[in-house]
Amino acid sequence: MQMCSVLTRTPSWFSTRKLFEQKLSDLHKCTDLNQVKQLHAQILKSNLHLDLYVVPKLISAFSLCRQMPLATNAFNQVQYPNGHLYNTLIRAHAQNSQPSQAFSTFFTMQFDGLYPDNFTFPFLLKACTGNGWLPVIEMVHAQIEKFGFMSDVFVPNSLIDSYSKCGSGGILTAKKLFVSMGDCRDVVSWNLMISGFAKGGLYEEARKVFDKMPIRDSISWNTMLDGYVKVGKMDDAFKLFDAMPERNVVSWSTMLLGYCKVGDMEMAQMLFNKMPTRNLVSWTIVISGFAEKGLAKVAIGLFDQMEEAGVKLDNGAVISILAACAESGLLGLGEKIHASIRNHNFKCTTEISNALVDMYAKCGRLDIAYNVFNDIQNKDVVSWNAMLHGLAMHGHGEKALELFKRMKEKGFSPDKVTMIGVLCACSHAGLIDDGIRYFSSMEKDYALVHEIEHYGCMVDLLGRKGRLEEAIRLIRTMPMEPNVIIWGTLLGACRMHNAVELAREVLDHLVKLEPSDPGNLSMLSNIYAAAGDWDCVADVRLRMRSIGTQKPSGASSIEVNNEVHEFTVFDRSHPKSDKIYQMINGLRRELKQVACFPNTC
């Protein structure tokens, strides 16, 4: 009997439960809100919303997605939370910059009879950042001593980190704690102390700690390197970089950033070319660096190279490069980034759209900025601010105020940045009464405290209209010390309105703040010249010579064919300067002819 062989497919078995369990185990790392919500629905369906293993993961996921109301709701479902669950919620509040809620959760934990452990305090300390938190950190420190957690090196390390973020007083306390730890210190303790000194600008102290380290890791070297870069000590940074036993992409990128910051683009280019491996961060640094300096062709060439290398943009890279374009007015590169976003179907988040609005507005393309702004589905305050500032800076004061009105109608509360834009709009449009009204309403209507930038806008507004006595009275009533921008703005107004006596008083304040700035003396000289006081002009010019200062010439720049050209007065450094001056002289002749035949119609 002959058997016929029949081809059969091997049966497959797929366990949805196993897949669900796998997703649950990775839930605390998930940053996709839609996926988190889907898993949350399955958790509720499986009656796991009370499980003390599952709920902390769910809270962590909602925290990563910046959905703290959902995280708090998940916590509140559990009738008898344990210490681990409380710790998870404290950490979530700290990660989302909600210090008050973090401490409130900590107090509730104690009220429920649960004792903090060696994880509770480090999470709580993450919520304490800035000079104002020093007394709170000291109280937390006392609690840590009371509960006996100083023997766990993770806890004092967290204290060093928190103290170091509280200004000079905090850094001194961090140093005392670091010294008191003695042999209990690990490499993290040393690295945190170096980082604390470096962030505080105390690079010499940081170097002393670095030199005393018994064992250094790559973080130690990179932290010290970053300290030198932050204060612009690139010679010291290069020596350290050269001495490093092993350099990684962070080391190279840190040096690259340093040279870009100090404007040494030749060194930055050379270093970038020598990098053994490049990542998106290094590409972003060098492209942004060249863009910020207005070197459009090089920046665009590097961007093309990056795309050819298959390096994909992310939100941070897009925002960083667009910010550099906005800073230097490089419209060409900004448009190229926008085109790349569209061509690659890149998800245009609110943050990226805001950066596009800011770039187009600052580059003078208000029409495109408005189109991008109107297309933003989920506008935030930053969206409105970017568009409002763009209108204000280009002299469209009334349109900016109309936008401000629309913003409030849509339910958005203005912040301090919004009000700077509003006051600038009033200043540029000459709406002095409106400006005074908005300035006065900040605290009453929006609970916003006046900051020095708002006072600067008001001095500019009053100065433009010649109300100089009101401007000086406002400066004298400021709750903070006026800076060089405030006094410089008033000096400019004095020049505009030939207020010689007031200009002398203003200059005295400016000289105290910036004794070597030649621009202030030059402006006072111009004020005297406008008033015909040539003796005083001569005195000021002699004073300028005696202190050995010379005001640098003002410069104008224009972007043509993706290249920025810069000019100063009587500048002949441009390769086409002869043709440029021929054109200027030709225009001058044309204008003279027009002036001879005025329009009498």
Angstrom distances, CA of residue 266 to CA of 262, 263, 303, 400: 11, 9, 17, 41
User: Would the pLDDT of 3 be above 50?
Assistant: no
Residue 96, pLDDT score? 93
Span 449-478, pLDDT tens digits: 999 999 999 999 999 889 999 999 999 999
Q: Angle formed by the axes of helices 218-230 and 203-212, to 10°?
A: 160
Residue type, 322: L
User: Would the pLDDT of 242 be above 60?
Assistant: yes
Averaged pLDDT for residues 220-240: 94
Averaged pLDDT for residues 206-225: 95
Residues 284 and 363 in one domain: yes
Residue type, 371: N
Pairwise CA distance, residues 472 & 478, whole Å? 10
In this prediction, residue 205 has a pLDDT band, given cuts at 50, 70 and 90, of very high
Residues 401 and 331 in one domain: no
By residue range, what is the domain housing residue 320?
Answer: 278-378
Closest CA to 365 of 393, 344, 343: 393
In this prediction, residue 571 has a pLDDT band, given cuts at 50, 70 and 90, of low
User: Would the pLDDT of 562 be above 60?
Assistant: no
Pairwise CA distance, residues 534 & 162, whole Å? 59
Asked whether residue 486 is assigned to any structural domain, the reply reads no
Please list the alpha-helical segments (H only) found in 344-365. Answer: 350-362
User: Would the pLDDT of 61 be above 60?
Assistant: yes
Handedness of CA 139, 169, 157, 58 (dihedral sign): positive
Residues 293 and 350 in one domain: yes
Span 178-197, pLDDT tens digits: 999 999 999 999 999 999 99
Asked whether residue 516 is assigned to any structural domain, the reply reads no
User: Would the pLDDT of 530 be above 80?
Assistant: no
Asked whether residue 373 is assigned to any structural domain, the reply reads yes
For the beta carbon of residue 567, count every other beta carbon within 10 angstroms. Answer: 17
Residues belonging to the chain: 601
Task: Show the beta-strand stretches assigned E in 28-116.
Answer: none
In this prediction, residue 516 has a pLDDT band, given cuts at 50, 70 and 90, of low
Q: Chain-wide mean pLDDT for the chain?
A: 86
Pairwise CA distance, residues 159 & 166, whole Å? 11
Residue 6, pLDDT score? 46
Per 3-state DSSP, the chain is made up of helix, strand and coil in percentages (nearest 5) of: 70, 0, 30
Residues 330 and 317 in one domain: yes
Between 285 and 27, the higher pLDDT residue: 285
Asked whether residue 99 is assigned to any structural domain, the reply reads no
Among the ranges given (271-285, 373-387, 400-414, 535-549), the one the predictor scored with the smallest mean pLDDT:
535-549
Tokens of 315: 């939100």
Asked whether residue 356 is assigned to any structural domain, the reply reads yes
Span 348-363, pLDDT tens digits: 889 999 999 999 999 9
Residues 386 and 433 in one domain: yes
Into how many domains does the chain fold?
2
Residues 352 and 410 in one domain: no
Residue 29, pLDDT score? 86
Asked whether residue 54 is assigned to any structural domain, the reply reads no
Residues 361 and 314 in one domain: yes
Pairwise CA distance, residues 139 & 204, whole Å? 30
Q: Are 455 and 486 in contact (CB under 8 A)?
A: yes
Q: Name the one residue in this structure whose structure tokens are 């005297």.
A: 528
Residue 246, pLDDT score? 93
Q: Tell me which of 361, 378, 395 is where a domain ends.
A: 378
Q: Tell me which of 378, 398, 427 is where a domain ends.
A: 378
Residues 358 and 340 in one domain: yes
Asked whether residue 318 is assigned to any structural domain, the reply reads yes
Q: Are 233 and 206 in contact (CB under 8 A)?
A: no
Q: Tell me which of 378, 413, 429 is where a domain ends.
A: 378
In this prediction, what percent of the chain has a pLDDT beyond 70? 86
User: Would the pLDDT of 100 be above 50?
Assistant: yes
User: Would the pLDDT of 8 be above 60?
Assistant: no
Pairwise CA distance, residues 8 & 190, whole Å? 66
Tokens of 9: 């497919």
Residue type, 309: A
Tokens of 359: 């770039």
Which pTM was predicted?
0.75
Residues 284 and 364 in one domain: yes
